Amino acid sequence: MGTQSHIAGYPRMGPKRELKFALESFWDGKSSAEDLQKVSADLRSSIWKQMSDAGTKYIPSNTFTYYDHVLDTTAMLGAVPPRYGWNGGEIGFDVFFSMARGNASVPAMEMTKWFDTNYHFIVPELGPEVNFSYSSHKAINEYKEAKALGVDTVPVLVGPVSYLLLSKPAKGVEKTFSLLSLLDKILPVYKEVISELKAAGASWIQLDEPTLVMDLDSHKLKAFTEAYSELESTLSGLNVLVETYFADIPAEAFKTLTSLKGVTAYGLDLVRGTKTLDLVKAEFPKGKYLFAGVVDGRNIWANDLSSSLSTLESLESTDKLVVSTSCSLLHTAVDLVNETKLDDEIKSWLAFAAQKVVEVNALAKALAGKKDELQQFFSANAAAQASRKSSPRVNNEAVQKAAAGLKGSEHRRATNVSARLDAQQKKLNLPILPTTTIGSFPQTVELRRVRREYKAKKISEEEYIKAIKEEIKKVVELQEELDIDVLVHGEPERNDMVEYFGEQLSGFAFTVNGWVQSYGSRCVKPPIIYGDVSRPKPMTVYWSSAAQSMTSRPMKGMLTGPVTILNWSFVRNDQPRFETCYQIALAIKDEVEDLEKAGINVIQIDEAALREGLPLRKSEQAFYLEWAVHSFRITNIGVQDTTQIHTHMCYSNFNDIIHSIIDMDADVITIENSRSDEKLLSVFREGVKYGAGIGPGVYDIHSPRIPSTEEIADRINKMLAVLEKNILWVNPDCGLKTRKYPEVKPALQAMVAAAKALRTQLASAK
């Protein structure tokens, strides 16, 4: 067997976030479309060359995007909502970025998480009136671009059925509308795209159908069969790979997948889908390609090559075996070569995207009988695996004992939430519809410069503290001027909410350039949890106390919750995730109790990523929710009734876990709501009773658009229709760090004005 290797997708931002800076420069009007296109072309060229030089046989194209790949598909299909004023023709940057970010006159489309990752996508808005047409030729253009560079690629498209299943009915369309009824309308566009690719010389095409790993009913599975039967004649003459990822594929879905007409190859995640292996061994169809995803596309640990090779060898009875990544590598950092500050031992345990490309090709060569040529590579890998298992820095007996001691208790506060809220109100004396923000304020160029210079030791600690305190004072004064009721310190000392805490906890390592795209130009640098976690000393008490000393109003202490720290980190894979989460919960518990002792009466423990970590299969969800919610409760079990515990969640579909959210037993929850068309409120209309404080977001902070007072008042009125006025809070959807002050100030003015106007109305209605 010859070398057969495949990469399902690759990070787009560039090793040093080149695309991020190009996008932001373009959005700010500082550079042209041509400048942006040149940066992106250079990035694509270097990625294709790197994969080609490594010996990769199946190299992807059309995985690059200026925002997200689902929005690219919306553009390809011409499914532009009417509010963006598009009149046909090739979709340009104006319309594309308006859909993603909104503009001065219309809001952006809804954004949500891509399955159980921290990557986001723009949710297509569809209905019976949408006229689909081939309106973005990006896939063919990128294929030709690679071909001109001498690289024959596998163009990647979001599959037609998954695209529809990831969509939602547009505003004004019945919620019961069957999105799959649009299959006949979108398939002609797919046929055009595929025909063009075939005519341009493509011999392979990859269709991503990740929804096949979900719990799908027979009607949805039938849609796959019908779609690929309809595409069969167009696909004729091409090798067609249907790629799935992120979980085990259910047995019925596996049968559907392996029976699809016109399909040559199946991509399966064998890292997260360990049970899938049994299905493959029992009933993989003869004559088809198996793209075996044995190299983890979602974490940064070096592959255990010996173990993966054994897995692959157990599959050699399949006729055509290709070594692949478990999913696109966009979920991992770009290149370990750029990490100059990681110590050698930890570095030897890691593999970023560039190293994973090498791993895939090494496994393919070994499988083809050429392992002897790679003896040194395999020996170094085995040594690194052994070093990680035995390293004393990984294990902390005291932490393990404390976490083990958590068993047997549910860690619930002794007093119910209603009584706690009464005690808190006596202490805080807040008005009806209290206003607050979520935590962060704009991260200015000057602020970033101060943090950068302090890290580089160009300014002293004294100068750094002085600058940060001045920034906090500015944020406090602005909030007082705006008459916000519960203040935040703006988080000027933090570049990233998870990174900041990870830097102060043991068991974490940090990268210099380990950036991962979250959405659009937004990148995060996940910490690496390599060992047992503990808190050596207080992390936020100094800054929260300093901020509280600047005002007589309540100042929130701002923490990131254990589940979010876990889900937004690269987590160790040598113990169950819940064990690591309990360790983090104990560390945050220490911090909560120190904040309370320092006189902070309102403490927010963000769990923005709680829903994100929900397993894709229903059979696994109850166990996850049990330990995730329990971890949150552990953090605040020790506080007084008068200390108000807030939490915050954003950009996920929360309706299906609302009872688990209630079970968290927070005093107040602030939650994203406005960008998703107030979808959250529907659960309360359907009779779910919520007795704690709640602040569904009144405006979208991921768009530069400034809402009016009337618009916000209208949103609050919708909330008052389903929620009691004495539990309702008024706040934005999320933190304000990505916005600029000229956007933030008028938006918050409108928010406070709306809250005050409604307070007056409610008072006069008594």
Residues identified as active-site: 702
Q: Which residues pair with 169 in a beta bridge?
A: 126
Angular region, 55: left φ>0, alpha ψ -120 to 50, beta rest: left
Would the annotation count 529 as a binding residue?
no
Would the annotation count 734 as a binding residue?
yes
Question: Long-range pairs for 284-289 at CB < 8 Å and ≥24 separation?
Answer: 284/258, 284/318, 285/258, 286/319, 287/319, 287/320, 288/258, 288/263, 288/264, 288/318, 288/319, 288/320, 289/239, 289/241, 289/264, 289/265, 289/319, 289/320, 289/321, 289/322
Would the annotation count 427 as a binding residue?
no
Would the annotation count 601 as a binding residue?
no
Would the annotation count 568 as a binding residue?
yes
Q: With beta carbons less than 8 A apart as the criterion, state whether 637 and 411 touch.
A: yes
Would the annotation count 650 as a binding residue?
yes
Would the annotation count 86 as a binding residue?
no
Would the annotation count 663 as a binding residue?
yes
How far is Cα 2 from Cα 75, in angstroms, rounded to an integer?
38
Rg (CA), the chain: 26
How far is Cα 310 from Cα 101, in angstroms, rounded to an integer?
47
Nearest Cα to Cα of residue 557 among 645, 617, 621: 645
How far is Cα 97 from Cα 667, in angstroms, rounded to an integer?
38
Would the annotation count 20 as a binding residue?
yes
Would the annotation count 523 as a binding residue?
yes
Would the annotation count 686 as a binding residue?
no
Would the annotation count 269 as a binding residue?
no
Name every residue whose Cβ is closer than 8 Å to that of residue 563 and which is 6 or more positions away in sequence: 581, 607, 609, 610, 613, 628, 631, 632
Nearest Cα to Cα of residue 411 among 586, 591, 567: 586
How far is Cα 111 from Cα 100, in angstroms, rounded to an integer?
8
* Paired tokens of 634: 């552990």
DSSP readout, 616-659? SSGGGHHHHHHHHHHHHHHHTTTS-TTSEEEEEE-SS--GGGHH
Would the annotation count 185 as a binding residue?
no
Amino acid at 249: I
Instruction: Kindly give the pairing relationship between strand 528-534 and strand 506-509.
Output: antiparallel
Q: Look-up: residue for tokens 């009607």?
A: 219
Q: In what order do the strands lie in the sheet with 602-606?
A: 556-560, 602-606, 644-649, 668-671, 693-696
Q: How many residues are listed for the chain in this entry?
A: 766
Nearest Cα to Cα of residue 487 among 421, 548, 549: 548
Would the annotation count 438 as a binding residue?
yes
Summarize the annotated binding site for Zn(2+) as residue ranges: 648, 650, 659, 663, 672, 734
Summarize the annotated binding site for 5-methyltetrahydropteroyltri-L-glutamate as residue ranges: 20, 118, 522-523, 568
Summarize the annotated binding site as residue ranges: 20, 118, 438-440, 491, 522-523, 568, 606, 648, 650, 659, 663, 672, 734
Summarize the annotated binding site for L-methionine as residue ranges: 438-440, 491, 606
Summarize the annotated binding site for L-homocysteine as residue ranges: 438-440, 606
